[in-house]
């Protein structure tokens, strides 16, 4: 009887200990589950907040095209719509109302936001025409669609701005390019060409903008002389003559630079039929 009582007592103790362990383990698991759930929720909310902050700080209200735009086509109010887009770029890189009537430099797919680098920096006007020049000294750093100033330098060192903030089009071998000019700008360029023909030794050249989207153009300070105006009025062909002369001069200077460059790349060694240095390219 005593043995049975002891066994019953012992079994009850084991059960009590087991139940206590289960309760402890269950409580610990519940605590751990709650803690992990809170951490997951906190991490999720933090990630969600970061996404909301990113979206909020990178939302831009810009102009997007409502249909495909081809290069050369003007950007007009009926071809764009203002909408919010997610873009990390500064708002200054996108076009505004002042850029309407400017021509697209590249094809722009439907729905794309329009940046200032996609459009010509010059507004289209009714009297604007495409004029090709072969008499402008074009810097080696100039590329297609770069924005430049057109300047004139006289033999005595005097330097003036003819045209401000013009886009270079149809660049060919650094000897020819096209400019979009209105009537006044065309007359200024014609006068400058005759100027250099009359006072030989100067040049018409380009200077490139670093950031054309934020840099403003300057006012032209080139004023054609009365002598140039008289020559143009007396000889209507003088502009073509001056242009042809300057183009030929420009070509000779380019060929001279190329020959000099080839000479610098030559390799010399001692030898030949009569001794001395022989150069090979």
Q: Pick the range with the lowest mean pLDDT from 109-123, 138-152, 235-249.
A: 235-249
**Domain closes at, from 120, 139, 166:** 120
Judge if 189 and 112 occupy the same domain. no
Residue 279 pLDDT greater than 90, yes or no: no
Judge if 116 and 140 occupy the same domain. no
Q: Pick the range with the lowest mean pLDDT from 82-86, 102-106, 157-161, 267-271.
A: 267-271
Residue-level pLDDT at 260: 61
Judge if 175 and 233 occupy the same domain. yes
Judge if 75 and 135 occupy the same domain. no
Judge if 113 and 150 occupy the same domain. no
Of 23-27, 66-70, 121-125, 253-257, highest mean pLDDT: 66-70
Full residue range of the structural domain in which residue 157 is found: 129-264
Q: Pick the range with the lowest mean pLDDT from 30-34, 182-186, 187-191, 242-246.
A: 242-246
Residue-level pLDDT at 263: 55
Residue-level pLDDT at 270: 38
Tokens matching residue 59: 């939302």
Residue 165 pLDDT greater than 80, yes or no: yes
Judge if 116 and 163 occupy the same domain. no
Residue-level pLDDT at 271: 43
Written in H, E and C, the secondary structure of the chain is CHHHHHHHHHHHHHHHHHHHHHHHHHHHHHHHHHHHHHHHHHHHHHHHHHHHHHHHHCEEEEEEECCCECCCCECCHHHEEEEEEECCCCHHHECCHHHCCEEECCCECCCCECEHHHEEEEECCCCCEEEEECCCECCCCCCCCCEEEEEEECCCCCEEEEEEEEECEEEECCCEEEEEECHHHHHHHHHHHHHHHHCCCCEEEEEECCCCCCCCCCCCCCCCCHHHHHHHHHCCCHHHHHHHHHHHHHHHHHHHHHHHHHHHCCEEEECCCCCCEEEEC
Of 61-65, 91-95, 253-257, 275-279, highest mean pLDDT: 61-65
Instruction: Say if 102 falls within a structural domain.
Output: yes
Residue 65 pLDDT greater than 90, yes or no: yes
d(CA 133, CA 243): 8
Residue-level pLDDT at 80: 95
> Confidence class of residue 250 from pLDDT cuts 50, 70 and 90?
low
Judge if 139 and 109 occupy the same domain. no
> For the CA atoms of 238, 240, 244, 250, what is the dihedral angle to 10 degrees?
90
With beta carbons less than 8 A apart as the criterion, state whether 159 and 151 touch.
yes
**Domain closes at, from 100, 120, 140:** 120
Judge if 202 and 232 occupy the same domain. yes
Judge if 206 and 182 occupy the same domain. yes
Residue-level pLDDT at 122: 75
**Domain closes at, from 103, 120, 137:** 120
Judge if 145 and 115 occupy the same domain. no
Q: How far is CA 68 from CA 63, 71, 75, 95, in A?
A: 14, 10, 11, 17
Residue-level pLDDT at 139: 86
Total structural domains within the chain: 2
Residue-level pLDDT at 221: 93
Strands 102-104 and 169-172: unpaired
Q: Pick the range with the lowest mean pLDDT from 36-40, 76-80, 104-108, 145-149.
A: 36-40
Mean pLDDT of the chain: 79
Instruction: Say if 95 falls within a structural domain.
Output: yes
Judge if 111 and 205 occupy the same domain. no
Torsion sign, CA atoms 114, 116, 118, 120: positive
Taking residues 178-201, report their average pLDDT: 87
Instruction: Say if 2 falls within a structural domain.
Output: no
Q: Pick the range with the lowest mean pLDDT from 21-35, 159-173, 183-197.
A: 21-35
Judge if 172 and 260 occupy the same domain. yes
Instruction: Say if 25 falls within a structural domain.
Output: no
Instruction: Say if 242 falls within a structural domain.
Output: yes
Q: pLDDT per residue over 259-278, tens digit each? A: 665 555 444 433 444 444 34
Instruction: Say if 166 falls within a structural domain.
Output: yes
> Confidence class of residue 161 from pLDDT cuts 50, 70 and 90?
very high
Instruction: Say if 280 falls within a structural domain.
Output: no
Q: What is the CATH number of the domain that holds 113?
A: 3.90.1210.10
Instruction: Say if 40 falls within a structural domain.
Output: no
């Amino acid at each position: 009887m005593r043995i049975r009582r002891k066994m019953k007592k012992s079994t009850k103790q084991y059960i009590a200990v087991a139940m206590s362990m289960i309760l402890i383990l269950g409580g610990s698991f519940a605590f751990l589950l709650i803690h992990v759930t809170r951490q997951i929720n906190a991490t999720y909310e933090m990630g969600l907040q970061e996404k909301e902050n990113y979206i909020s700080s990178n939302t831009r209200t810009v102009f997007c095209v409502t249909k495909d735009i081809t290069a050369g086509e003007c950007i007009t109010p009926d071809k764009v719509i203002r909408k919010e887009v997610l873009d990390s770029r500064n708002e200054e890189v996108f076009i505004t109302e002042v850029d309407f009537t400017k021509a697209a430099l590249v094809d722009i797919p439907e729905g794309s936001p329009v940046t200032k680098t996609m459009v010509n920096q010059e507004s289209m006007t009714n009297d604007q025409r495409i004029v090709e020049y072969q008499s402008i000294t074009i810097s080696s750093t100039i590329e297609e669609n770069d924005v430049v100033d057109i300047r004139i330098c006289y033999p005595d060192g005097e330097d003036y701005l003819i045209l401000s903030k013009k886009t270079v089009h149809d660049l060919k071998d650094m000897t020819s390019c096209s400019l979009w000019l209105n009537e006044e700008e065309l007359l200024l360029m014609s006068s400058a060409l005759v100027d250099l023909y009359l006072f030989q030794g100067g040049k018409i050249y380009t200077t490139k903008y670093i950031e054309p989207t934020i840099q403003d153009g300057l006012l032209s300070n080139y004023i054609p002389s009365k002598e140039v105006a008289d020559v143009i009025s007396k000889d209507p062909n003088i502009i073509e003559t001056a242009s042809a002369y300057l183009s030929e001069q420009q070509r000779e200077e380019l060929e001279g630079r190329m020959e000099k460059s080839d000479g610098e790349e030559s390799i010399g060694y001692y030898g030949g039929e009569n001794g001395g240095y022989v150069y090979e390219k």
